[in-house]
Amino acid sequence: MDTQIVLPESQVAIHSPRLFCIGRNYAAHAAEMKSPMPEIPMVFLKPSTALIRNNGVVELPLQSDEVHHEVELVVVIGKKGKHINESQAADYVEGYAVGLDMTARDIQAKAKKKGHPWSVAKGFDTFAPLGDFVPKSAVNDPQNLGIKLLINGVTRQSGNTRDMHFSVHELIAYCSTIFTLLPGDLIYTGTPEGVGPVHDGDKLEASIEGMPSLSVTARR
């Protein structure tokens, strides 16, 4: 999954996957946030330090009193590409996983009001939990997958990737017009409706049909 860079005259390897995230890609979620649907994909970035894996801990930051969950289909890119045609986008997919885009909603709301970027609200350490990948051959149609999030055993989000405004292939094509996509890059493809707060001690269980589930615990 990680990209790897070896510094000249050094044996130190730097692993820093890039996380491209898509906002407002489900109409019902945009509606619950009282936000318009974008005309082109809304892309923001998270640092690699936001990544945690299955059975990890989401650290609820002291700076925020309102951290929200957002369950998402995640795409891992398998080869380098630039200006990728939508019809060829599937060739650049290595696999899929379920993930969570954690958001400090109170910080985000203040940023939106001032017209500021969302980087702080989205970029805290541990704010991008990620499940285990399956190869793309295991997914017949990425645009017809049930997606769900339970908190403490209670369903909080339930949807289907068919309701994406921009498809996986559209997102890959669009992102590649801006960024050269590299092996190991991750695209978090947006969340369905039902987002809400996470509290200290909550257990989050995210799942997508045909993929390993993701379980993390929130801690203050």
Tens-binned pLDDT, residue by residue, of the chain (220 aa): 444 544 445 444 445 789 999 999 999 999 999 899 999 999 999 999 999 999 999 999 999 999 999 999 999 999 999 999 999 999 999 999 999 999 999 999 999 999 999 999 999 999 999 999 999 999 999 999 999 999 999 999 999 999 999 999 999 999 999 999 999 999 999 999 999 999 999 999 999 999 999 999 999 9
User: How far is residue 131 CA from its own chain's centroid?
Assistant: 11
CATH number assigned to the domain comprising residue 112: 3.90.850.10
Note the pLDDT of residue 169: 98
The pLDDT of residue 17: 85
In a domain, 208, yes or no: yes
Cα-based angle 15, 17, 20 (whole degrees, multiple of 5): 165
Query: Exposed (0-12), middle (13-18) or buried (19+): which is 115, by Cβ within 10 Å?
Result: exposed
Six token digits for residue 122: 């989205």
Domain ranges, residue 104: 4-8+25-219
Tell me whether residue 17 is in a domain.
no
Number of domains in the chain: 1
In this structure, is residue 15 part of a structural domain?
no
pLDDT at 4: 52
Longest dimension (CA), the chain: 53
Residue 78 lies in a domain: yes
Query: How confident is the model at residue 16, as a pLDDT?
Result: 74
Asked if residue 104 belongs to a domain, the reply is yes
Q: What is the pTM of this model?
A: 0.93
Tokens 């990544």 label which residue? 51
Return the closest-CA partner of residue 210 out of 153, 140, 143, 152: 140
Residue 42 lies in a domain: yes
Residue 149 within any structural domain of the chain: yes
Report yes or no on 19 lying in a domain.
no
